[in-house]
């Protein structure tokens, strides 16, 4: 059935027709209170896929996007997350292909050279300009659903002094968005799941009396639910408690533990079920393409030796072609999503009275930022040593330190040690850290 559907010329032809119009012929997504809504008033729940075929921009190859969009539509996806794009590229064909399939984009604004670094932390004009160019490139597409200001900038539990810089970046890009008259596409952050920083990081980024300084959405990269788990044994009940009453949309910006094979994606029934769907706005599954880390849902052909030099082959993995489902993971996720269709609430019936969370105070061995500190301005820097202690710059905490050197352990999470740049999640994952 899959091969016949994918080979149907009419579907691909339909995706290609009137490219510019198609990219702007779908309802837009907006954040209202703690939920996402289509512009027609229906609540939007994310069923997403992490989509980064190489370290290069995956949204400039129209033919490949058409093939992948068709497969994702069969899978039941309605969103992709892309971690690295070239703002100078022509994205119209790909955005049209995904729009025609009902698929929305969450895109990271940072690049390999402009991510916020928690060891030598800065928010400078070069970074701002680079982020703004990505926003300029994608704000015109109606199926752009959100911008991430960073991915796992804070990757270790002693790096929270970088949080004011993340928040400053969100403040300035929101101001830029509004000054340009762009649609209010949500600007948010995608966080590593660090037990010692729960729920302080999510609360800090949303706290304060000035809404212009807070993020618009919060994504969590969590790999706790592995195999035959449940709300209690996975720790999802704790995540649920921390998210209750949160004043902006919260969702899983990466999930899909693979320490138990095959992946059955049972956590999706919890995320989209009655215990969680009133609080969470869905999930993005890591990842689309099968690599040596075994997280992929599809492949483009068999692997070859890593030393092979061939067109569209990187590190032994084919990066283009007809998507072939990974068995049985693709079918397992398809089956899960097919039965999970929460209706949510209509925007006309939703009148949130949620307040921002309190700004957390610093604690020894944990969160390092003391309350609602003044955010850094463009050009301000902060350097810390391996323990998290301030070396240069203006301290923004009481000085409490932690000495952890590893991303905190959720059950089955992807462990990362010694990484300090903001691309430590999928972007470097895509560069074969597993």
How does pLDDT run across 73-127, given as a tens digit for each residue? 999 999 999 999 999 999 999 999 999 999 999 999 998 899 999 999 999 999 9
pLDDT at position 403: 30
Tell me what pLDDT residue 382 has. 87
Catalytic one among 254, 287, 290, 291?
A: 254
Best-predicted range by mean pLDDT among 345-349, 383-387, 430-434?
345-349
3 has pLDDT over 50: no
Question: Is a pLDDT exceeding 80 seen at residue 22?
Answer: no
Looking at residue 394, its pLDDT comes to 53
Find the catalytic residue in 30, 110, 152, 287.
152
Residue 364: predicted pLDDT: 83
Q: Look at residue 20 in the predicted model and tell me its pLDDT.
A: 52
**Is the predicted pLDDT of residue 164 greater than 90, yes or no?**
yes
Whether pLDDT at 282 is above 70: yes
Residue 134 is predicted with a pLDDT of: 98
Q: Comparing C-alpha atoms, which of 428, 349, 368, 305 is closest to residue 32? A: 349
- pLDDT of 225 over the 80 cut: yes
Write down the pLDDT at residue 2: 40
Residue length, the chain?
Answer: 434
* DSSP-assigned states of every residue in 69-111: HHHHHHHT--EEEES---TTS--HHHHHHHHHTT-EEEEE---
pLDDT > 80? residue 353: yes
pLDDT, tens digit (0-9, with 9 covering 90-100), for 384-402: 666 656 655 654 443 333 3
**DSSP structural state of residue 327:** T
Provide, for the chain, the percentages of residues in helix, strand and coil under a 3-state DSSP scheme, each rounded to the nearest 5: 30, 20, 55
Poorest-pLDDT segment among 4-13, 146-155, 277-286, 307-316: 4-13
pLDDT of residue 387: 60
State the average pLDDT for the chain: 87
Task: List CB contacts of 311: < 8 A, sequence separation 6 or more.
Answer: none
pTM surpassing 0.75? yes
| 144/126 Cα distance (integer angstroms) | 24
pLDDT score, position 12: 44
pLDDT score, position 308: 81
Q: Which residue has the higher pLDDT, 410 or 347?
A: 347
Specify the residue for token string 């691309």: 423
- Tokens matching residue 81: 């997350």
Average pLDDT score over residue span 255-271 = 97
The pLDDT assigned to 386 comes to 61
Q: How far apart are CA 205 and CA 168, in angstroms?
A: 10
Domains in the chain with CATH codes: 2-429 (3.20.20.80)
The greatest distance separating any two alpha carbons of the chain, rounded to the nearest whole angstrom, comes to 63
The full 3-state SS of 269-316, as one line of letters, equals: HHHCCCCCCCCEEEEEECCCECCCCCCCCEECCCCCCCCCCCCCEECC
Known active-site residue 152: yes
Residue showing tokens 């990081």: 201
CA-based R_g, the chain, Å? 21
Write the CB contacts of 426 (distance below 8 Å, at least 6 apart in sequence): 50, 52, 81, 83, 151, 254, 286, 287
pLDDT at 135: 98
Going through 129-247 in order, the beta strands assigned E by DSSP cover 144-151, 187-192, 217-221
């Amino acid at each position: 059935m899959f091969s016949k559907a994918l080979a149907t010329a009419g579907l691909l032809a339909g995706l290609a027709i009137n490219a510019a119009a198609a990219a702007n012929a779908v309802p837009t997504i907006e954040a209202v209170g703690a939920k996402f809504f289509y512009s027609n008033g229906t609540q939007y729940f994310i069923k997403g896929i992490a989509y980064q075929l190489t370290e290069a921009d995956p949204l400039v190859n129209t033919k490949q996007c058409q093939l992948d969009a068709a497969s994702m539509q069969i899978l039941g996806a309605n969103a992709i997350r892309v971690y690295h794009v070239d703002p100078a590229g022509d994205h119209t064909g790909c955005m049209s292909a995904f729009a025609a399939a009902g698929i929305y984009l969450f895109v990271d604004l940072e690049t390999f050279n402009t991510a916020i670094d928690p060891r030598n932390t800065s928010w400078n004009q070069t970074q701002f300009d680079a982020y703004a160019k990505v926003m300029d490139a994608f704000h015109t597409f109606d199926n752009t659903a959100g911008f991430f200001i960073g991915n796992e900038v804070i990757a270790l539990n002693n790096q929270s002094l970088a949080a004011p810089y993340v928040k400053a970046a969100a403040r300035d890009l929101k101001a830029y968005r509004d000054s340009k008259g762009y649609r209010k596409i949500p600007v948010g952050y995608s966080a590593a799941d660090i037990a010692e920083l729960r729920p302080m990081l999510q609360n800090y980024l949303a706290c304060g009396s000035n809404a212009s300084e807070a993020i618009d959405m919060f994504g969590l990269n969590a790999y706790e639910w592995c195999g035959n788990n449940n709300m209690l044994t996975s720790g999802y009940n704790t995540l649920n408690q921390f998210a209750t009453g949160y004043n902006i949309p919260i969702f899983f910006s990466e999930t899909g533990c693979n320490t138990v094979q095959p992946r059955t994606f049972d956590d999706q029934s919890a995320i989209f079920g009655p215990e969680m769907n009133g609080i969470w706005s869905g999930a993005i599954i890591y990842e689309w393409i099968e690599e040596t880390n075994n997280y992929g849902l599809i492949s483009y052909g068999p692997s070859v030796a890593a030393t092979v030099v061939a067109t569209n082959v990187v590190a032994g993995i084919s990066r283009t072609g007809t998507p072939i489902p990974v068995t049985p993971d693709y079918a397992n996720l398809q089956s899960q999503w097919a039965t999970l269709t929460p209706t949510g609430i209509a925007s006309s019936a939703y009148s949130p009275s949620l307040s921002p969370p309190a700004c957390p105070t610093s604690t020894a061995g944990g969160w390092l930022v003391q309350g609602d500190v003044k955010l850094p301005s463009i050009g301000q820097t902060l350097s810390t040593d391996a323990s998290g202690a301030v070396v240069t710059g203006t301290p923004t905490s009481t000085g409490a330190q932690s000495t952890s050197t590893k991303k905190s352990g959720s059950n089955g999470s992807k462990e990362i040690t010694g990484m300090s740049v903001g691309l430590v999640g999928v972007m470097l994952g895509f560069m074969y850290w597993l």
